[in-house]
Structure 1
């Protein structure tokens, strides 16, 4: 009965999506006006391609946002080196910029089609992927069903299942099984994630660790870094990065609390969504703070309180300007953001307590002494002040964080091992075609 009920729900989802398809234009237009879509490329969201399909084997890699895009870069580099073509889809403007910055024209980038049958079918009809690789927690029912109907192997890599998602799927376990049985393999980030996928019906499931640990350090323009360091001089700094609503103002409050003890303090605030910067700047200035936006290119002069990091692809710059970093979506938000990049780049990591989405990474960093959790703004201010005043403790946390990240490495190798049965035939096919003189 449950299997029949799952098929009924998925069929209803399929046809409801098809019926709603003509009505989504207004939603896309709204996103364009909010800067969440590229106006000239919005047709890609309907599955309409902006490139021709290249000859030979093709892997479709999907990474929803910035973190996932960074995580799969190492995999993509390996596929490219093996001569396999890649179409990479992402869901945000910022992740598209990161893809261009890190991979350039070596991959074909498209915005992911809406999870509606007409859009997904059009996308698959054009690209005809030989393998689909989805990153982290991308479970789109129509996409999974359409790929399954075409017998395209689907692999979830760096798989993550949050507490909230697991609870939701458990209530609909019959539906989860109907979807997850289409996955040829799940490569999970942690044992907890792996066990959750198994309980929801995924087979086989292996555990790799977090792919982001094995990525290269976030890039930085050396001249820009040197110039801004010169402007900052000997001032004390701390950063609040990947912040969500409420956390930027918490950072502003921390700055106001601490500048009495550290009159030269510079706070670097990097919102997760840079388009919020104008409103944030106005609100911070209303609190009596002097703020500049990185996007304007203004110099960090002595009187500036806050450098607002409203640019895309410069996290490597912001983190290299400090040795103390609070990682957001953890104080007023929920789930947290990935602490690996800050630890990797040599900062003492601070975070709120809501870090369920990155539980394993935080557990290991906290156990080693590389990270510390804070409950509220007052406690955050105290932690930043302590680290500013205690260079020895700050250096201990930085060293512990770097060591922990090194210990967590190896996910890329384990993931490639799991993917080998799917990739090897494509490599052989690619070599045979090149041997026959085809491009």
Structure 2
């Protein structure tokens, strides 16, 4: 054997295999993607494997053995074939990977009249697939153009009638100066291989290219997000210091009704229910307001992904109860696919326990709930994180800006940010977030909450002809101002009844005791008498009901300097005249857009004057039908956009 032949047949393949084996073995690989793709790749038992195509860009060819080792570890009976070009490079690759039980099939599309063995390779590939093997292909190979799917790739799927699993990859690597910028993995790094949902045998070249590119982008984002930053060294110690008194804090919260004793361990990552099979999409909504904003989306998500379970976490009992009420209104099939858990504290052990148990395919946060520890642990596992209805007050933005050198990774790790307005989008962009887009405010566009008509009619009958001022979402310190305002307004509006709805229903007794005698409470089954000026509505899930009763609506958490306002849109659905206080920074852009549809009052006197001066309060104007239809159309567009973005983020 000549020296050249010895070099090409034995020495070069051995050297390449030794280096590639070292690089792949010392790289910490994560295989990520939806359950359907994983099932196809490692189907058990292998004797029943129908065969499938594994499609990835040519530049990731050297990462294939890592995917193959992962699959064979879980199913030793799997067989893998790979289509490679019939040239010197192809033969080198075939000889390099052959000892790893990867069978090379030589051949590629014919070009310029030259027979490249494409027809023969196609027949051999179909035969391998029909025999139950996995067949790896590079649809843009062997000569490109890069990321341009050749017709042979889709022809293979049609002829074999087998599904294609798109795969993307990213790792610590050098890029060769080749037409595709091939990745050569470096040792002792971190890598991600991302598989998508299987595509049917009749998938077009455009769809195949789109899905491979999406898988590649997800892998690239996971790799970037997994980088180590200074905050990753600091935050675990912050959590460790906090964990010293978290148990004590949790115990106090149980005593005050802010935690449920039987479910307290959920806050420390110990889940109370078993994990169902299949993919799980994790949604986090801190409390009642955030939960209400995403409830209309849940139906869209459940319909869009029939095999996906939605795991929704909240940090408050009231948020939990809101989810429970909504769950009862779902169909039996959808109810089984909606699980609630309390959110784990952002300490390393709790978050690890939670993620190890649930293994979500993605996480969607709401509003401005950004927890560095969650983002870090998700990024290490390749779990993409998106932010829904993103908002950022000027005060919060300033704080994040002041610590930008330390906290910028928090924003860079987000796969996308769906902001509620242009100002919020600009602020997230300045803080380092990528893929920021504005789709509108979920709280504005979401349909009005359903109201029990029987309960509504019963209350209207009980209240008879009284003029009703509904005061929602009050916080401590505001109720005395509201009570004074109602007393002043009753000098002119004799039959006025104020319904005070504390933001946290557990404060109902505290608010009722401000009266002398104590005000009647809804939670106790008490109705207001004819002489009662105030009724405390300290129940959960009935806000829309009390809005429908209202002749006037005032939104709290806005009368004192520490306030930030609350969602104005649900009140507008009722159509009654609306007012709020001057402190509403959390929803400033929303109130600016609404303009004169909300009156601003500063104290008890101005609130009383507003109620007294309104003309014909018993006949409030209602929104016109065209406006409702337009809002419904905008919500459909928003929901469809978010479904598409989440699908691209997770591969569902």
When normalised by structure 1's length, the TM-score is 0.89
Instruction: Measure the CA separation in 1 of the matches of 2:380 and 2:462.
Output: 58
1:303 paired to 2:531: yes
Q: Which residue of 2 aligns with 1:383?
A: 610
| Offset, 1:218 | 2.0
Unpaired runs of at least 5, structure 2? 1-227, 329-334
Instruction: Measure the CA separation in 2 of the matches of 1:356 and 1:415.
Output: 26
1:328 paired to 2:556: yes
Q: Which residue of 2 aligns with 1:97?
A: 321
Please say which of residues 192-201 and 409-418 is displaced more in the overlay.
409-418
Q: Which residue of 2 aligns with 1:230?
A: 461
Q: Which residue of 2 aligns with 1:207?
A: 438
> Would the aligned equivalents of 2:291 and 2:323 in 1 still touch at CA under 8 Å?
yes
Q: How does 1:204-353 map to 2 (within 5 A)?
A: 204-285=435-516, 291-332=519-560, 333-353=562-582
> Would the aligned equivalents of 2:415 and 2:649 in 1 still touch at CA under 8 Å?
no
> Would the aligned equivalents of 1:327 and 1:351 in 2 still touch at CA under 8 Å?
yes
Q: Which residue of 2 aligns with 1:150?
A: 381
Q: How does 1:79-94 map to 2 (within 5 A)?
A: 79-81=301-303, 82-83=305-306, 84-94=308-318
Instruction: Measure the CA separation in 2 of the matches of 1:403 and 1:383.
Output: 26
**SS of equivalent residue, structure 1 residue 410:** helix
Q: Which residue of 2 aligns with 1:41?
A: 263
Q: Against the structure 1 CA distance between its residues 415 and 216, is the aligned structure 2 distance closer, same or farther, given a 3 Å change threshold?
A: closer
> Would the aligned equivalents of 1:343 and 1:401 in 2 still touch at CA under 8 Å?
no
Q: Against the structure 1 CA distance between its residues 401 and 315, is the aligned structure 2 distance closer, same or farther, given a 3 Å change threshold?
A: farther
Q: Which residue of 1 aligns with 2:585?
A: 356
Instruction: Measure the CA separation in 1 of the matches of 2:525 and 2:629.
Output: 33
Q: Which residue of 2 aligns with 1:52?
A: 274
Q: Against the structure 1 CA distance between its residues 395 and 220, is the aligned structure 2 distance closer, same or farther, given a 3 Å change threshold?
A: closer
Q: Against the structure 1 CA distance between its residues 420 and 88, is the aligned structure 2 distance closer, same or farther, given a 3 Å change threshold?
A: same
**SS of equivalent residue, structure 1 residue 284:** coil
Q: Which has the larger radius of gyration?
A: 2
Number of residues of Structure 1 aligned to a counterpart in Structure 2: 415
- Residues 198-225 of structure 1: CA deviation (Å, up to 9, x unaligned): 0000001000111123333223322222
> Would the aligned equivalents of 1:208 and 1:411 in 2 still touch at CA under 8 Å?
no
Q: Which residue of 2 aligns with 1:161?
A: 392
Q: Which residue of 1 aligns with 2:347?
A: 116
Please say which of residues 154-163 and 274-283 is displaced more in the overlay.
274-283
- Structure with greater helix percent: 1
| Offset, 1:421 | 4.7
Instruction: Measure the CA separation in 2 of the matches of 1:402 and 1:314.
Output: 26
**SS of equivalent residue, structure 2 residue 312:** strand
Instruction: Measure the CA separation in 1 of the matches of 2:551 and 2:433.
Output: 41
- Residues 390-414 of structure 1: CA deviation (Å, up to 9, x unaligned): 449x745x54899499559625533
Instruction: Measure the CA separation in 2 of the matches of 1:31 and 1:401.
Output: 45
| Offset, 1:10 | 3.4
Instruction: Measure the CA separation in 2 of the matches of 1:405 and 1:291.
Output: 40
> Would the aligned equivalents of 2:418 and 2:436 in 1 still touch at CA under 8 Å?
yes
| Offset, 1:419 | 4.5
Q: Against the structure 1 CA distance between its residues 349 and 421, is the aligned structure 2 distance closer, same or farther, given a 3 Å change threshold?
A: closer
**SS of equivalent residue, structure 2 residue 512:** helix
- Residues 159-194 of structure 1: CA deviation (Å, up to 9, x unaligned): 010111101001011223111111000000000000
Instruction: Measure the CA separation in 2 of the matches of 1:356 and 1:313.
Output: 25
> Would the aligned equivalents of 1:364 and 1:404 in 2 still touch at CA under 8 Å?
no
Match of 2:299 among 77, 94, 98: 77
Q: Which residue of 2 aligns with 1:136?
A: 367
> Would the aligned equivalents of 1:370 and 1:399 in 2 still touch at CA under 8 Å?
no
| Offset, 1:290 | 6.2
- Residues 29-64 of structure 1: CA deviation (Å, up to 9, x unaligned): 011111111111111000111111111111000001
| Offset, 1:301 | 2.1
Q: Against the structure 1 CA distance between its residues 145 and 211, is the aligned structure 2 distance closer, same or farther, given a 3 Å change threshold?
A: same
Match of 2:247 among 25, 28, 36: 25
Instruction: Measure the CA separation in 1 of the matches of 2:607 and 2:400.
Output: 35
Instruction: Measure the CA separation in 2 of the matches of 1:374 and 1:412.
Output: 35
**SS of equivalent residue, structure 1 residue 320:** helix
When normalised by structure 2's length, the TM-score is 0.61
Query: Greater relative contact order (Cα 8 A, min sep 6): structure 1 or 2?
Result: 1
1:174 paired to 2:174: no
> Would the aligned equivalents of 1:88 and 1:109 in 2 still touch at CA under 8 Å?
yes
